[in-house]
Amino acid sequence: MTHNGHDHHKCMALFEKMSEYIDHELDDDARAQVEAHIRDCCHCHTCYETLQRTVDLCRSSAEDYPLPDTFAEKLRELIESADQGV
Protein backbone atom coordinates (compact mmCIF):
# COMPACT_ATOMS: atom_id res chain seq x y z
CA MET A 1 0.00 0.00 0.00
CA THR A 2 1.49 3.33 -1.03
CA HIS A 3 0.62 6.50 0.81
CA ASN A 4 2.81 8.96 -1.06
CA GLY A 5 3.28 10.80 2.21
CA HIS A 6 -0.46 11.20 2.45
CA ASP A 7 -1.60 11.60 6.01
CA HIS A 8 -5.24 10.83 6.72
CA HIS A 9 -5.17 12.62 10.05
CA LYS A 10 -4.17 15.75 8.20
CA CYS A 11 -7.18 15.35 5.94
CA MET A 12 -9.60 14.95 8.81
CA ALA A 13 -8.05 17.90 10.63
CA LEU A 14 -8.31 19.96 7.48
CA PHE A 15 -11.91 18.98 7.01
CA GLU A 16 -12.74 20.47 10.39
CA LYS A 17 -11.32 23.78 9.22
CA MET A 18 -12.95 23.64 5.82
CA SER A 19 -16.30 25.12 6.81
CA GLU A 20 -14.51 27.96 8.58
CA TYR A 21 -12.38 28.45 5.50
CA ILE A 22 -15.47 28.72 3.32
CA ASP A 23 -16.94 31.19 5.79
CA HIS A 24 -13.70 33.24 5.72
CA GLU A 25 -13.28 32.79 9.46
CA LEU A 26 -9.66 31.62 9.41
CA ASP A 27 -6.61 33.78 9.92
CA ASP A 28 -4.04 34.12 7.13
CA ASP A 29 -1.86 31.33 8.46
CA ALA A 30 -4.66 28.78 8.71
CA ARG A 31 -6.03 29.86 5.34
CA ALA A 32 -2.67 29.25 3.69
CA GLN A 33 -2.50 25.78 5.23
CA VAL A 34 -5.96 24.87 3.99
CA GLU A 35 -5.24 26.21 0.50
CA ALA A 36 -1.94 24.36 0.27
CA HIS A 37 -3.54 21.10 1.34
CA ILE A 38 -6.49 21.44 -1.04
CA ARG A 39 -4.04 22.06 -3.88
CA ASP A 40 -2.03 18.95 -3.09
CA CYS A 41 -4.73 16.53 -2.01
CA CYS A 42 -7.29 15.38 -4.56
CA HIS A 43 -9.58 13.90 -1.89
CA CYS A 44 -9.83 17.16 -0.01
CA HIS A 45 -10.11 19.10 -3.25
CA THR A 46 -13.14 17.07 -4.29
CA CYS A 47 -14.62 17.41 -0.84
CA TYR A 48 -14.00 21.15 -0.79
CA GLU A 49 -15.72 21.68 -4.12
CA THR A 50 -18.71 19.64 -3.01
CA LEU A 51 -18.92 21.48 0.27
CA GLN A 52 -18.54 24.88 -1.39
CA ARG A 53 -21.33 24.09 -3.84
CA THR A 54 -23.62 22.91 -1.06
CA VAL A 55 -22.93 26.00 1.02
CA ASP A 56 -23.67 28.22 -1.97
CA LEU A 57 -26.96 26.44 -2.53
CA CYS A 58 -27.92 26.68 1.12
CA ARG A 59 -26.99 30.34 1.29
CA SER A 60 -29.21 31.21 -1.62
CA SER A 61 -32.19 29.58 0.07
CA ALA A 62 -31.65 30.25 3.79
CA GLU A 63 -29.66 32.37 6.24
CA ASP A 64 -28.69 29.46 8.43
CA TYR A 65 -27.24 26.37 6.87
CA PRO A 66 -26.37 23.35 8.95
CA LEU A 67 -23.36 21.58 7.48
CA PRO A 68 -24.30 17.96 6.97
CA ASP A 69 -22.32 15.49 9.03
CA THR A 70 -22.26 13.22 6.02
CA PHE A 71 -19.42 15.24 4.51
CA ALA A 72 -16.97 13.94 7.07
CA GLU A 73 -18.21 10.47 6.23
CA LYS A 74 -17.85 11.12 2.49
CA LEU A 75 -14.29 12.31 2.90
CA ARG A 76 -13.41 9.21 4.87
CA GLU A 77 -14.92 7.03 2.14
CA LEU A 78 -12.96 8.87 -0.57
CA ILE A 79 -9.73 8.39 1.34
CA GLU A 80 -10.36 4.74 2.08
CA SER A 81 -11.39 3.85 -1.46
CA ALA A 82 -8.32 5.62 -2.81
CA ASP A 83 -6.12 3.52 -0.55
CA GLN A 84 -7.68 0.32 -1.81
CA GLY A 85 -7.29 1.45 -5.41
CA VAL A 86 -3.56 2.09 -5.13
Choose which of 21, 44, 48, 51 interacts with Zn ion (CB under 5 A): 44
CA distance linking residue 16 with residue 72, whole number of Å = 8
CA distance linking residue 2 with residue 86, whole number of Å = 7
Instruction: Answer yes or no whether residue 47 interacts with Zn ion by CB under 5 A.
Output: no
Nearer to Zn ion, 20 or 59 (CB): 20
Tell me the closest approach of the beta carbon of residue 80 to Zn ion, in angstroms: 13
Interacting residues with Zn ion (CB under 5 A)? 11, 41, 43-44
